[in-house]
């Protein structure tokens, strides 16, 4: 067996974890900003968003396990689970550790969305952008593949896509979903009251025959 197999596994799974996480973030922003159209989006896009989020957890777990199993840098569980414990590139590794726990929080609350309520879920889910930023910083500073041109161009393309969608979300006007009674059509009031005009009550003698 190649003595560097665990290090190669850690590097490859780290890149794949970042890639599927980026795809999940882009899909989530596209769905929330309606960048794909105002009509209801196909269900498979939402399923793909959820699936890529779950895959990012899976590849990140393999990434951490491979780092602990590797004998070159000598990571232990505390190094990969507690920020600022690792002596090897302490700050870049800490960014990855914080990103991991944010990923766990986002995915766990998404699974428990019905139990915790939509409001709390949205607040925690909003941390996805911070999660992606920390994961990207970890990839560029802690990884050893930063010089790879394919990786550099991929990071640039994804960053531009995320920045564009965030800008669209900020600048998009929010429509009011609540209507007051005064905004209701007058026809609805007529049907409910059974009168010709909601503003002028109908006289009981209006239909009386004249002599």
* Assigned domain for 197 exists: no
Q: Is 130 domain-assigned? A: yes
Number of separate domains in the chain: 1
Is residue 185 included in any domain, yes or no? no
Residues ≥6 apart with Cβ < 8 Å to 195: 201, 202
Residue 202 lies in a domain: no
pLDDT at 178: 46
Look at residue 172 in the predicted model and tell me its pLDDT.
75
* pLDDT tens sequence for the chain (211 residues): 566 899 999 999 999 999 999 999 999 998 888 776 666 667 888 899 999 999 999 999 999 999 999 888 889 999 999 999 998 899 999 999 999 999 999 999 999 999 999 999 999 999 999 999 999 999 999 877 877 889 999 999 999 999 999 998 888 766 544 444 444 444 444 455 554 444 444 444 444 444 4
pLDDT confidence of residue 145 = 81
Distances (CA, A) of 66 to 37, 58, 89: 41, 12, 17
State residue 44's pLDDT score. Answer: 84
Per-residue model confidence (pLDDT) at position 133: 96
Q: How many residues does the chain have?
A: 211
Q: Residue 193 domain-assigned?
A: no
pLDDT value for 148: 85
Neighbours of 130 (CB within 10 A): 13
Instruction: Indicate whether 186 belongs to any domain.
Output: no
Q: Is residue 103 part of a domain?
A: yes
Residue 1 is predicted with a pLDDT of 59
Stated pTM of the model: 0.78
Range of the domain at 132: 5-171
């Amino acid at each position: 067996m190649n003595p560097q197999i665990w290090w190669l596994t850690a590097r490859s799974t780290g890149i794949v974890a970042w890639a599927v996480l980026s795809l999940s973030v882009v899909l989530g922003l596209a769905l929330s900003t309606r960048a794909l159209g105002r009509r209801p989006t196909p269900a498979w896009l939402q399923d793909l968003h959820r699936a890529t989020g779950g895959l990012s957890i899976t590849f990140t777990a393999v990434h951490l396990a491979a780092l602990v199993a590797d004998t070159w840098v000598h990571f232990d569980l505390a190094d990969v689970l507690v920020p600022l414990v690792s002596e090897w590139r302490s700050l870049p590794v800490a960014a990855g550790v914080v990103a991991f726990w944010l990923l766990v929080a986002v995915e766990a609350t998404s699974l428990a969305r019905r139990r915790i309520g939509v409001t709390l879920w949205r607040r925690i889910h909003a941390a996805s952008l911070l999660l992606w930023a920390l994961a990207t910083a970890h990839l560029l500073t802690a990884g050893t593949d930063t010089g790879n041109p394919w990786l550099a161009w991929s990071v640039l393309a994804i960053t531009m896509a995320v920045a564009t969608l965030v800008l669209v979300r900020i600048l998009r006007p929010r429509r009011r979903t609540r209507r007051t009674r005064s905004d209701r059509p007058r026809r609805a009031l007529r049907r409910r009251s059974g009168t010709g005009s909601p503003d002028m009550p109908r006289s009981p003698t209006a239909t009386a025959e004249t002599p």
